[in-house]
Amino acid sequence: MRENERLLESLPEIAGSDRLRVDSSPYYLQEMGPADGYTTNEVYRAPAGMTADEVIDFYVGELRGEWEYCFENIPITSLEDGEIQGFVKTATFYRAWSGGTAIVSLNTDGMVPGQAGSFEIVVDHDSYRNFCTGEDLR
Protein backbone atom coordinates (compact mmCIF):
# COMPACT_ATOMS: atom_id res chain seq x y z
CA MET A 1 0.00 0.00 0.00
CA ARG A 2 2.95 2.30 0.55
CA GLU A 3 3.70 2.22 -3.20
CA ASN A 4 0.12 3.31 -3.86
CA GLU A 5 0.55 6.17 -1.39
CA ARG A 6 3.75 7.25 -3.17
CA LEU A 7 1.90 7.18 -6.46
CA LEU A 8 -0.85 9.40 -5.03
CA GLU A 9 1.76 11.79 -3.62
CA SER A 10 3.31 12.13 -7.08
CA LEU A 11 0.05 13.31 -8.67
CA PRO A 12 -0.80 17.00 -9.05
CA GLU A 13 -3.61 18.47 -6.97
CA ILE A 14 -6.23 20.90 -8.16
CA ALA A 15 -5.74 24.26 -6.44
CA GLY A 16 -8.60 24.94 -4.05
CA SER A 17 -9.66 21.30 -3.73
CA ASP A 18 -10.02 19.73 -0.28
CA ARG A 19 -8.94 16.16 0.51
CA LEU A 20 -11.84 14.47 2.29
CA ARG A 21 -10.44 10.98 2.90
CA VAL A 22 -7.94 8.32 1.87
CA ASP A 23 -8.45 4.58 2.25
CA SER A 24 -7.17 1.32 0.80
CA SER A 25 -9.00 -1.87 -0.10
CA PRO A 26 -7.80 -5.31 -1.21
CA TYR A 27 -8.95 -6.92 -4.43
CA TYR A 28 -9.20 -10.61 -5.23
CA LEU A 29 -8.88 -12.35 -8.58
CA GLN A 30 -10.18 -15.62 -7.13
CA GLU A 31 -13.12 -15.83 -4.78
CA MET A 32 -11.40 -17.78 -2.01
CA GLY A 33 -7.80 -16.74 -2.68
CA PRO A 34 -5.51 -14.31 -0.92
CA ALA A 35 -5.56 -10.61 -1.78
CA ASP A 36 -3.96 -10.08 -5.19
CA GLY A 37 -3.38 -6.39 -4.65
CA TYR A 38 -4.72 -3.19 -3.18
CA THR A 39 -6.22 -0.02 -4.52
CA THR A 40 -5.90 3.25 -2.65
CA ASN A 41 -8.71 5.79 -3.00
CA GLU A 42 -8.43 9.51 -2.35
CA VAL A 43 -11.61 11.62 -2.36
CA TYR A 44 -11.56 15.38 -2.91
CA ARG A 45 -14.12 18.16 -2.83
CA ALA A 46 -13.69 20.17 -6.01
CA PRO A 47 -13.51 23.96 -5.93
CA ALA A 48 -16.91 25.65 -6.15
CA GLY A 49 -18.21 25.84 -9.71
CA MET A 50 -15.76 23.30 -11.15
CA THR A 51 -17.32 20.75 -13.50
CA ALA A 52 -16.51 17.08 -14.01
CA ASP A 53 -15.07 17.88 -17.46
CA GLU A 54 -12.79 20.53 -15.93
CA VAL A 55 -11.51 18.01 -13.35
CA ILE A 56 -10.75 15.49 -16.09
CA ASP A 57 -9.20 18.17 -18.33
CA PHE A 58 -6.87 19.22 -15.49
CA TYR A 59 -5.51 15.70 -15.02
CA VAL A 60 -5.24 15.02 -18.76
CA GLY A 61 -3.27 18.25 -19.12
CA GLU A 62 -0.99 17.44 -16.20
CA LEU A 63 -0.39 13.74 -16.93
CA ARG A 64 -0.35 13.76 -20.76
CA GLY A 65 2.98 12.57 -22.09
CA GLU A 66 3.98 10.57 -19.01
CA TRP A 67 0.78 8.50 -18.94
CA GLU A 68 -1.44 6.96 -21.60
CA TYR A 69 -5.15 7.39 -20.97
CA CYS A 70 -8.67 6.63 -22.10
CA PHE A 71 -12.18 7.82 -21.26
CA GLU A 72 -15.35 5.97 -20.44
CA ASN A 73 -18.91 7.26 -20.26
CA ILE A 74 -20.82 5.28 -17.65
CA PRO A 75 -24.63 5.48 -17.96
CA ILE A 76 -26.71 6.82 -15.08
CA THR A 77 -29.80 4.63 -15.00
CA SER A 78 -33.06 5.40 -13.22
CA LEU A 79 -33.93 2.85 -10.55
CA GLU A 80 -37.62 3.50 -11.17
CA ASP A 81 -37.91 2.86 -14.90
CA GLY A 82 -34.46 1.76 -16.06
CA GLU A 83 -34.15 4.74 -18.41
CA ILE A 84 -30.69 6.21 -18.98
CA GLN A 85 -30.68 9.72 -17.54
CA GLY A 86 -27.20 10.78 -18.54
CA PHE A 87 -23.59 9.71 -18.32
CA VAL A 88 -20.67 10.04 -15.91
CA LYS A 89 -17.34 10.57 -17.63
CA THR A 90 -14.33 8.82 -16.12
CA ALA A 91 -10.68 8.78 -17.15
CA THR A 92 -8.11 6.03 -16.62
CA PHE A 93 -4.40 6.70 -16.91
CA TYR A 94 -1.76 3.98 -17.09
CA ARG A 95 1.97 3.56 -17.57
CA ALA A 96 4.39 0.67 -17.48
CA TRP A 97 7.36 0.91 -15.12
CA SER A 98 9.90 -1.49 -13.64
CA GLY A 99 7.44 -2.62 -10.95
CA GLY A 100 4.56 -3.42 -13.30
CA THR A 101 1.79 -1.24 -14.70
CA ALA A 102 0.46 1.61 -12.61
CA ILE A 103 -3.08 2.89 -13.04
CA VAL A 104 -4.80 6.07 -11.93
CA SER A 105 -8.56 6.11 -12.29
CA LEU A 106 -10.43 9.39 -12.01
CA ASN A 107 -14.09 9.05 -11.03
CA THR A 108 -16.28 12.14 -11.25
CA ASP A 109 -19.67 10.64 -10.36
CA GLY A 110 -19.86 12.96 -7.33
CA MET A 111 -19.73 16.05 -9.53
CA VAL A 112 -23.31 17.35 -9.59
CA PRO A 113 -23.87 20.47 -11.73
CA GLY A 114 -24.59 23.55 -9.62
CA GLN A 115 -23.31 22.00 -6.38
CA ALA A 116 -19.94 21.59 -4.66
CA GLY A 117 -19.00 18.18 -6.02
CA SER A 118 -16.49 15.52 -5.16
CA PHE A 119 -14.21 13.35 -7.25
CA GLU A 120 -12.20 10.25 -6.47
CA ILE A 121 -8.72 9.21 -7.54
CA VAL A 122 -8.10 5.45 -7.36
CA VAL A 123 -4.56 4.11 -7.80
CA ASP A 124 -2.86 0.74 -8.04
CA HIS A 125 0.91 0.74 -8.52
CA ASP A 126 0.84 -2.84 -9.86
CA SER A 127 -2.43 -3.40 -11.69
CA TYR A 128 -3.47 -6.80 -12.97
CA ARG A 129 -5.33 -5.26 -15.92
CA ASN A 130 -5.00 -2.40 -18.36
CA PHE A 131 -8.49 -0.91 -18.06
CA CYS A 132 -8.13 1.00 -21.33
CA THR A 133 -7.28 -1.98 -23.53
CA GLY A 134 -8.71 -4.78 -21.38
CA GLU A 135 -5.33 -6.56 -21.53
CA ASP A 136 -4.57 -8.96 -18.68
CA LEU A 137 -1.16 -7.97 -17.30
CA ARG A 138 -0.41 -11.03 -15.18
- The CATH number assigned to the domain holding 17 equals 3.40.1000
Q: Is residue 135 a part of any domain in this protein?
A: no
Q: What is the pTM of this model?
A: 0.85
> How confident is the model at residue 133, as a pLDDT?
78
pLDDT average per 10 residues of sequence, the chain (138 residues): 91 95 90 87 92 94 93 87 86 82 90 76 87 75
Structural domain for 88, as ranges: 2-27+36-124
> How confident is the model at residue 39, as a pLDDT?
93
Q: Is residue 22 a part of any domain in this protein?
A: yes
Q: Which of 40, 38, 137, 39 is nearest to 97 (CA)?
A: 137
Q: Is residue 134 a part of any domain in this protein?
A: no
Q: Is residue 131 a part of any domain in this protein?
A: no
> How confident is the model at residue 31, as a pLDDT?
83
Whole-Å CA distances, 115 to 19, 48, 72, 91, 121: 17, 7, 23, 21, 19
> How confident is the model at residue 9, as a pLDDT?
94
Cβ proximity of 65 and 76 under 8 Å: no
Q: Is residue 92 a part of any domain in this protein?
A: yes
> How confident is the model at residue 115, as a pLDDT?
62
Q: Is residue 115 a part of any domain in this protein?
A: yes
Q: Is residue 132 a part of any domain in this protein?
A: no
> How confident is the model at residue 41, as a pLDDT?
95
Q: Is residue 51 a part of any domain in this protein?
A: yes
One-character DSSP codes across 42-101: EEEEPPTT--HHHHHHHHHHHHBTTBEEEEEEEEEE-TTT--EEEEEEEEEEEEEETTEE
> How confident is the model at residue 112, as a pLDDT?
67
Q: Into how many domains does the chain fold?
A: 1
